[in-house]
Amino acid sequence: MFRIPVDPTLDLVLLEPRHAPILFALIDENRAHLRRFLPWVDTTQSPQDSAVFIHSCLEQFARGTAVNVALFSGPALVGLCGTHAIHWGSRRAELGYWISSAWQGRGLMTRAVRALSAYLFFSHGLHRLEIRAASDNQKSRAVAERLGFVLEGTLREAEWLYDRYVDHALYAILQRDFQSS
């Protein structure tokens, strides 16, 4: 099993088919919280939908085109973080992440994104990581800023989110500027 131990309270674990029911339950419990900024929430309607997602993540991991991991605090699955895709030609990836509302405010996501970034930079040899967050998603933006990602600009109307377009703040960090501690 692929695992990145972050600290005594947090592990990043490659999702497995057995995680589908608990992943779906976490999404289902957090629908209103997640729907504010994530376009896939309404299409996740059953544990089978989570199983399909996990299968896709495992295929991408095996091909080396993405790394998506679950955040476990002890036995509890509390969120996800990973790459949307790895672009090997330019050695860059875009990161995405979400966490249960009950687990916010504990620094877990900042530590998780730091650990995943270190893995991608130093084990995969990536040169650049990007984070795109809805402009009004202050919590996601704060994670990027705490980790030293630089705000490079605003992508106007970059995403259709249910009934409207939202702007994205584009953050990036280069391997040479990344501090893993």
CATH of residue 25: 3.40.630.30
Q: Is residue 77 part of a domain?
A: yes
Kindly state whether residue 40 falls inside one of the protein's structural domains.
Answer: yes
Q: Write down the pLDDT at residue 66.
A: 97
- 72 domain-assigned: yes
pTM of whole model > 0.85? Answer: yes
Kindly state whether residue 105 falls inside one of the protein's structural domains. Answer: yes
Residue 140 lies in a domain: no
d(CA 176, CA 181): 14
Total domains present in the chain = 1
Give the pLDDT confidence of 147-159 residue by residue, as tens digits: 999 999 999 999 9
pLDDT (0 to 100) of residue 181: 59
**Cα distances (angstroms) measured from residue 178 to each of 6, 94, 128:** 17, 15, 10
**Is 44 a domain residue?**
yes
> Which residues span the domain enclosing 46?
3-126
Q: Does residue 117 contact residue 150 with C-beta atoms inside 8 Å? A: no
Q: Give me the residues of the chain with pLDDT under 70, please.
A: 180-181
Instruction: Report the half-sphere exposure of 171 (CA within 13 A, side-chain side).
Output: 21
pLDDT at position 1: 78
Which of 57-76 are b and which e, b meaning 16 or more Cβ less than 10 Å from the residue's Cβ?
bbebbeeeebbbbbbbbeee
What separation in angstroms does the CA of 16 have from each of 21, 23, 155? Answer: 11, 10, 34
